[in-house]
Chains A and B, each alone.
Chain A
């Protein structure tokens, strides 16, 4: 049988992949890298949970536990959920979605991937050199005194920051310059808006992380002193710098996931997205407000009360555009024609879990309750509800949604659904107990704990196995579809955006002729 030429068979050989400047192939490169990191980070997470099966030492020393906990956090944050959606799915889908032949700077795009890999190599090197035990937040002065490998992983994170900046830069220019004729900003699919809003944060916040990490490296190598209280520096300043990046950074992670949900909910309800403008502008509003909320990480650090109050109010305000999105997604389902295929199941899991993640954020944004909950498992649970319940669920929703386009093959729907249900259940079993023990005062990052928390930890650990199983099944289903799935039609879900007009998998050049857009996206009937 004659196989049509597509981006997968356009060229052959390893070199044709590693030197490819085709956004689709680079998306696949990112997919392989990010999924590998995800397995590594997940393994560390499962090990941490396993160690916490008992209140006393099970199989790790405290030092080892601290390292496993740090690596779980660093790998997942810097190597999985920051690049996860933009670099894998954004890269693959964005140009197709806006009717472009590639991103604006294809070679820069490849370079970003190599930056990520170089950073990842340094992270591996840091593990080989003895590991890192500072927590992913690298708080000073502990991170100044801790072991040698910290410098290496800091440099790794610095390099990965470049990868993130360049991806964001590429997307902004692509969206501004390469939209198909007729596609105004207000005709752009919402995933594009979400990537755009996230890219703004990548551009503005990541350089501040870069300088923060550089200062910390300089502090460690040359004793610069600005974070060192013993010579007049200020260790709290590091936290301000760090969170000036890292709080907006959680929106780098979540905004693209929200974009996916907008696509998936509309497609699987066969209904025009409700409140297109509200969703688009709320993305931009989130990215704007996100720069002024970082101080809520410092309510109990000795920060002035007034500063705390201002940050507290700004923090709850960032919840408003988030709430708007949730309402609009649910409203989209009204009078729809809803099919619960795997992407939609993950999207609904996202809506439920992210809702809880957002609401529990209120406890932490309110200064008084934060005193009780700060640095406890409540924060751990809240964070995982937004980052796993949100970002990871969104990422899998998007992967199942676009996988037929990417591979040209259908995945196994039954097992896809099984994975979604298992991940959802396992996730809740893992993290609901953490809300409770956190409220009772169980501090985070504890290797040994009070036996009165045992029942909660035990449940949480069992939940982590169910969650892990769900994720592993999801990965197997996705990867198997590469090899074995039935041939995917051009538009398996009845989507209305441009990527569903090209063959599956798309040809090397995406579109034989650049389409001209005359209508808004999401028009059914």
Chain B
């Protein structure tokens, strides 16, 4: 980001003295926020580690009940979406906002596809009685599997909510692109949403092996 030239007649908000100061404040704020996201999921990963340690074979068996292919497909989709997002930020910085616009649209499509796959997965699980904890009714399975599926639904559910929020944020970006609000001198929101999207992607990259690939 060393190539960015801040001082080109752009006026910072009233309480900042320079645009550079404002930009760095924004980026620091976004990173801090992302740290809280990671810590929040961190709690879930700790819970996962504890119960996997407690019931290793149950987790192994329960994992077999998940559809690895669908999970793998979603992983690829999210990685692709992250690539689009990174490119979109790049083009915004270069001032080619129409490219950025298309790429963000693509990212949204990937996200929607991801949610679609998730929807079919969930529906299938509901149908088979692979429900969290108390409601776990799957035939010939142990009761503790309910814990695995409890964690599965909480972890992927919370992740899906983050995807939804991401879609909302990207839609907001598109709107602002339409209004020509971004330029090589002002793109903090694009940068921020981009970073957010990468974190959501990275969380999935951890979720996928932990849930689908216990072997």
User: Which A residues have a C-beta under 8 Å from some C-beta of B?
Assistant: 95, 100-106, 108, 165, 169-170, 172-173, 176-178, 203-204, 206-208, 210-212, 214-215, 218-219, 222-226, 228, 231-234, 237, 241, 509, 514
Given A177-B16, A223-B135, A237-B47, 16 further pairs, Cβ under 8 A? A102-B15, A170-B29, A173-B29, A173-B32, A178-B21, A206-B36, A207-B40, A207-B43, A211-B40, A224-B150, A224-B151, A225-B147, A226-B47, A228-B133, A231-B146, A233-B133
Q: Which residue among A100, A232, A233, A241 has the maximum number of chain B CB atoms within 10 Å of its CB?
A: A232
Partner of B15 from the list A100, A203, A204, A231 (CB cut-off 8 Å) is: A100
Chief secondary structure at chain B's binding surface: helix
Q: Does B50 contact A (CB under 8 A)?
A: yes
* Cβ contact within 8 Å between A207 and B25: no
CA distance A203 to B24 in the complex (A): 18
By a CB distance below 8 angstroms, the chain B residues around A509 are 14
- Nearest 7 CB-CB pairings of A with B: A225-B133, A223-B134, A224-B150, A211-B43, A102-B15, A101-B15, A207-B40
CA distance A257 to B35 in the complex (A): 26
By a CB distance below 8 angstroms, the chain A residues around B136 are 225, 231
By a CB distance below 8 angstroms, the chain A residues around B214 are none
* Cβ contact within 8 Å between A231 and B28: no
By a CB distance below 8 angstroms, the chain A residues around B176 are none
CA distance A232 to B47 in the complex (A): 13
Chief secondary structure at chain A's binding surface: helix
User: Which B residues have a C-beta under 8 Å from some C-beta of A?
Assistant: 14-17, 21, 24-25, 28-29, 32-33, 35-37, 39-44, 47, 50-51, 54-55, 131-136, 143-144, 146-147, 150-151, 153-154, 158
* Cβ contact within 8 Å between B35 and A228: no
* Cβ contact within 8 Å between A203 and B158: no
* Cβ contact within 8 Å between B50 and A237: yes
* Cβ contact within 8 Å between B132 and A176: no
By a CB distance below 8 angstroms, the chain A residues around B132 are 218, 222-225
CA distance A103 to B146 in the complex (A): 47
Partner of A207 from the list B39, B47, B144 (CB cut-off 8 Å) is: B39
* Cβ contact within 8 Å between B17 and A208: no
CB-CB nearest in chain A for B43: A211
For residue B158, give the distance in angstroms from its CB to the closest CB of chain A: 7
By a CB distance below 8 angstroms, the chain B residues around A207 are 36-37, 39-40, 42-43
* Cβ contact within 8 Å between B135 and A222: yes
Q: Knowing A104-B29, A223-B134, A509-B14 touch, does A231 contact B40 (C-beta < 8 A)? A: no
